[in-house]
A and B are shown apart, each in its own frame.
Chain A
Amino acid sequence: MINFDNSATTYPKPQPVSRAVQLAVQRYGGNPGRSGHRISREAAQQVFDVRQKAADLFKSEVENVAFTPNCTYALNMAIKGILQYGGEAIISSLEHNSVARPVYDLFRHRGVKYSIARVSNDDDETVRDFEELITPKTKCIICTAASNVTGQILPVKRIAELAGKHDIPFICDCAQASGVLDVTIDDGIDFLCTSGHKGLYGPTGTGLLITNGKYPLSTIIEGGTGATSAELEQTGLWPERMESGTINTVGIMGLGKGIDFVSQKGRKNIFSHESALCQQLIRTLEKHENITIYRSHKASYAPIVSFNIEGYTSEQVTAYLSSKGFALRGGLQCAALAHHSLGTLLTGAVRFSPSVFNDSRQTMMLCREIEKIADKKVNI
């Protein structure tokens, strides 16, 4: 099977990631940060080294990098940590459910109000829309760096600047941006949330919550941190404050090798390679009048392409492609808000998301199958 569903999780993983996972299980079985004995300290050293790699990649301080089980956890921790006691939030119209649902839950149960800024193909309009929604009660702005449906890149630096100007914490969902776009804490992001298993090529079960330390963050999970254990109050110091319970040493060690892989390849090179495959697909899709591509010439995109073929639901198309050995994701990609904006809430969309391991030949083979559907040469 050829995987073009790498926005869900990258697969295959680089060999060193697999080896690091195996090594973690075999040699680093101690509980990091919990004991003074050698196996605990050795595991802690491995975790620290990966923390430093993540800090370097996202231009942060090592102590400001917290490991989470995935990006959704990181976003929940940031969003609920800021809005725990109420207030107002602004989110974008392209948010994944990992942002939309926690905000909606806070609206339903904690009296939090929220508004949705429309993402336009024109960055000036997008930033203006965010600005117009700011009120004296706005407690945070949350937006994705790149849509997981269309790949559209949002003007993160400008939104961060806007949030900074109003002294509002800015939370950024970098799940689709990490590993392909140069998004870092330096962009003015107060809480950068990302998965470790997508563009960073780590194993599933890994994510990161990174802060610039500007705003305090309440916790939504408390417990053992290996520090100040005699006190009932949760430690105030990052990263342990955000890492209650035993952390995923095995996944984290794999993630370290994933970050090495991305650093060695270079984000620009990865972006260029994957974008070239997207363009190859788009050239084929554009030949067919019965195919709608959800892109605009005015906007910039991460290497993701979503499309639909007239007369078919996205699930019908992806089921056919799956039978031919191609993994693409149909449906709503857990982003109803984005599909509402696109007008594809009923059909969903077929999403093509390559990784560094895909190539032009594989994309050409996929194009042939898509053309068979578009030309009605197959019954699906």
Chain B
Amino acid sequence: MPKSLIAMTSITYAMKAKRLLNDQGFYCEITRTPKNLGTGCGYSIQVTKPPKEIILMLEKHGLPHGNILINAGG
């Protein structure tokens, strides 16, 4: 299944996002943000749902996020 990465602004927001998505029955794992996606150290969420749908959900719950990497492998 294609996976996408969404860079999160902090580990706390990454965990809050993971809990939100898991609670709604979506796959979500936290991973280190790759160099091409963030500015220095950071965490991303790895999702299988189309990122657009996930982004809408994050924004609805006031969870800030960074860049997105579609089809990040896996």
Write the residues of chain A forming the contact surface with B, with a CB cutoff of 8 angstroms: 32-36, 41, 44-45, 48, 51, 62-63, 225-231, 235, 237-240
Contact = CB atoms under 8 A, between A and B. Distances in A.
Which 7 residue pairs of A and B lie closest in terms of their CB atoms, listed nearest first?
A: A229-B40, A36-B32, A230-B40, A33-B11, A229-B41, A230-B39, A48-B15
11 contacts: A33-B12, A34-B41, A44-B15, A62-B12, A225-B10, A226-B41, A226-B42, A227-B42, A228-B39, A229-B40, A237-B13
B13 to A, nearest CB: 6
Contacts of A35: 32
Interface of B: 9-13, 15-16, 30-32, 38-43, 64
Contacts of A36: 31-32, 43
Contact of A45 (B10, B13, B15, B31): B15
Interface of A is mostly: loop
A41 B39 CA distance: 20
A235 B15 contact: no
Contact of B16 (A41, A44, A63): A63
Given A34-B41, A36-B31, A231-B39, A51 B12 contact: yes
Contacts of B31: 36
A44 B40 contact: no
B45 to A, nearest CB: 12
Q: Which among B30, B39, B41 has the greatest number of chain A C-beta atoms within 10 A?
A: B41
Contact of B12 (A48, A229, A230, A231): A48
A226 B41 CA distance: 6
Contact of A228 (B15, B16, B30, B40): B40
A230 B38 CA distance: 9
Q: Which among A36, A229, A235 has the greatest number of chain B C-beta atoms within 10 A?
A: A36
B30 A41 contact: yes
Contacts of A228: 9, 38-42
A45 B42 CA distance: 15
Nearest to B64: A237
